[in-house]
Amino acid sequence: MISRCIRNISVGNRIYFSVLSVFLLFAIAFIVFQQVRENQYKIETLDMRLQDYNERMNEWMNYTDSINEHTLNIYVRSHGFTGLRVTLIEKNGKVVYDSNLSSYTNVINHSDRPEVIDALRRGHGSTIDRSSKTVEGNFFYSATYFKDKGIIIRSALPYDDNLSKSLQADQHYIWFAITAMVLLTLILYHFISRLGANITKLKIFASRADNNESLDTEDLADFPDDELGEIAERIIKIYKRLQSTREEQNILKRQLTQNIAHELKTPVASIQGYLETILSNPDMDVKVKQQFMERSYAQSRRLTSLLHDISTLNRMDDAQELIDFSEVNVSNIIADIERDTSMQLSEKGMTFVNNVKPDIIIEGNYSLVYSIFRNLTDNAIAYAGEHTTITVNAEEKDDCWAFSFSDNGVGVPVEHLPRLFERFYRVDKGRSRKMGGTGLGLAIVKNAILMHGGTVRAHNLLSGGLCFEFSLRKHR
């Protein structure tokens, strides 16, 4: 019975209700998503403000000679928000200061607080709405763990009606979305009704064409004066023409297939003939041919190494044990890179100064070690500037080799230095993309160095330019 009723509904109405249902579900999902996203954004913004407060308070503590309850109270009163509560918690959960309390002897241990647990694990943590077991009321907590002091600074705001309303998503766009939905529904109905009329006519056409009945009737002659009506009318005309031109189209189809095959064979034959000419040319100088082949082979190996490095970057996170380690001559790698990049260096008038002594041997992965120095070199060539100098130094330590890779170019703004090694982070996005950068080079450098038991840091030189200082352990 239900299926019969559905069949009795016109095609246009079925399309209308189907499209409308999908549209309404999408609109509702979008509204809910927008609500959640805006609410999350406001929560994250408030958390960032509190985290920033924690950082600034930590900096103040670093430069304050006398830190006690009195000085802490003065700082909180003069630098805090309205209603702000600040708590200092030791790593073991002991509360050593709370701006809302005058005595902490009876305060229970805070090691089980969610924001404290997250701060110890991830460096920072927050709790949106939690009832305080120490003082009355609910609070929005944001805690930051400072490992060098072994202390957690936790700031909190009372989770009252004002804060709750400020974190709620704006409701105005919901009314806008509902109004838009109503208008779009009316427009959709108008469009679908015209579409349904054309579909009905096409249904009549299909039935008559299937039964070889005449198509020259009045109900198939008049279509709505719009694009849909024109399309339906053209479909009928095309069908009529197809009856007399089917064989012609089959011929055209065969010709088209032959033409495609010919067009594919032509470039393939040209490429094959060109390669055969190079390989069999007796007039080509042997040394030139050998040099060309060696350079082509070297570049093909380099491309293979680059592809391998991309997969290795993923394996460094998930399957480090699959990376092979053996004796690697770092001095030879640096010399190879100097030779491989000589043309690029010459084009920019740059100089490569290699102060690394011969036969520096470590236990490592050749591809990763090559990637370290090649990425640093490519980075300097791309961004240091013309007529600059790249300098590589190495110093032997007890269990590692300490390297410095520097240039005397333009350097990097100080605010970008802490994020240089992040994946896909670019100091100048537009310039990096124009130069073909992927934003992964320095991330590969850092991960490869860590894989070799070393550390890395970047800093600007006082004389100008950027310097990378890193170490590679001699043995695993």
Task: Please say if the pLDDT value at position 404 is more than 90.
Answer: yes
**Range in 124-128, 136-140, 388-392 with the lowest mean pLDDT:** 136-140
Average pLDDT value for the chain = 75
Hey, is 389 helix, strand or coil?
A: strand
| pLDDT digit string, tens, across residues 208-256 | 666 666 656 555 556 656 665 666 667 777 776 776 676 665 664 453 3
Task: Please say if the pLDDT value at position 188 is more than 50.
Answer: yes
Task: Please say if the pLDDT value at position 3 is more than 70.
Answer: no
- Tokens coding 227: 């694009």
Residues 6+ apart with CB under 8 A from 14: 6
Hey, is 446 helix, strand or coil?
A: helix
Q: Which residue has the higher pLDDT, 450 or 133?
A: 450
Instruction: Please report the pLDDT score of residue 252 as a whole number.
Output: 41
Hey, is 127 helix, strand or coil?
A: strand
Instruction: Please report the pLDDT score of residue 274 as a whole number.
Output: 35
Query: What average pLDDT does range 260-268 have in this prediction?
Result: 36
Length of the chain, in residues: 476
Burial class from Cβ neighbours inside 10 Å (0-12, 13-18, 19+) for residue 307 reads: exposed
Burial class from Cβ neighbours inside 10 Å (0-12, 13-18, 19+) for residue 192 reads: buried
Task: Please say if the pLDDT value at position 5 is more than 60.
Answer: no
Q: Which residue has the higher pLDDT, 388 or 187?
A: 388
Percent of the chain with pLDDT over 70: 65
Query: What average pLDDT does range 84-104 have in this prediction?
Result: 87
Task: Please say if the pLDDT value at position 355 is more than 80.
Answer: yes
- Tokens coding 291: 């040099």
Q: What is the DSSP letter of 391?
A: E
Instruction: Please report the pLDDT score of residue 253 as a whole number.
Output: 46
- The whole-angstrom separation of Cα 427 and Cα 412 is 8
Instruction: Please report the pLDDT score of residue 472 as a whole number.
Output: 93
> Predicted confidence band at 300 (pLDDT cuts at 50, 70, 90)?
very low
**Range in 132-136, 276-280, 303-307, 385-389 with the lowest mean pLDDT:** 303-307
Query: What average pLDDT does range 365-388 have in this prediction?
Result: 90
Instruction: Please report the pLDDT score of residue 464 as a whole number.
Output: 87
- Annotate 371-385 with DSSP letters as a single string: HHHHHHHHHHHHHS-
Task: Please say if the pLDDT value at position 378 is more than 80.
Answer: yes
- The whole-angstrom separation of Cα 195 and Cα 226 is 10
Tell me whether strands 351-354 and 389-396 are parallel, antiparallel or unpaired.
parallel
Query: What average pLDDT does range 26-41 have in this prediction?
Result: 76
The segment with the largest mean pLDDT, out of 171-185, 197-211, 308-322, 341-355, is 341-355
Instruction: Please report the pLDDT score of residue 273 as a whole number.
Output: 37
- The whole-angstrom separation of Cα 270 and Cα 82 is 78
- Annotate 136-157 with DSSP letters as a single string: SSEEEEEEEEETTTTEEEEEEE
CB 461 within 8 A of CB 451: no
> Predicted confidence band at 394 (pLDDT cuts at 50, 70, 90)?
very high
Instruction: Please report the pLDDT score of residue 302 as a whole number.
Output: 43
**Range in 123-137, 152-166, 208-222, 282-296 with the lowest mean pLDDT:** 282-296
> Predicted confidence band at 107 (pLDDT cuts at 50, 70, 90)?
confident
433 Ramachandran zone, left/alpha/beta (phi>0; psi -120 to 50): alpha
- The whole-angstrom separation of Cα 142 and Cα 47 is 6
| pLDDT digit string, tens, across residues 137-153 | 788 889 999 998 889 99
CB 334 within 8 A of CB 390: no
- The whole-angstrom separation of Cα 5 and Cα 16 is 16
Task: Please say if the pLDDT value at position 332 is more than 90.
Answer: yes
CA 220 to mean position of chain CA atoms: 55
Instruction: Please report the pLDDT score of residue 475 as a whole number.
Output: 83
Backbone angles phi, psi at 151, to 5 degrees: -135, 150
Task: Please say if the pLDDT value at position 7 is more than 90.
Answer: no
**Range in 119-128, 177-186, 313-322, 394-403 with the lowest mean pLDDT:** 313-322
- Where helices occur in 168-285 by DSSP H, the ranges are 172-210, 227-280
| pLDDT digit string, tens, across residues 420-448 | 888 666 666 554 444 444 566 788 899 88
Instruction: Please report the pLDDT score of residue 441 as a whole number.
Output: 78
CA 68 to mean position of chain CA atoms: 45
- The whole-angstrom separation of Cα 439 and Cα 426 is 6
- Annotate 230-262 with DSSP letters as a single string: HHHHHHHHHHHHHHHHHHHHHHHHHHHHHHHHH
- The whole-angstrom separation of Cα 296 and Cα 279 is 14
- The whole-angstrom separation of Cα 55 and Cα 61 is 10
Query: What average pLDDT does range 289-295 have in this prediction?
Result: 52
> Predicted confidence band at 6 (pLDDT cuts at 50, 70, 90)?
very low
CB 439 within 8 A of CB 425: yes
Direct distance between the N- and C-terminal alpha carbons of the chain, in angstroms, rounded to an integer = 76
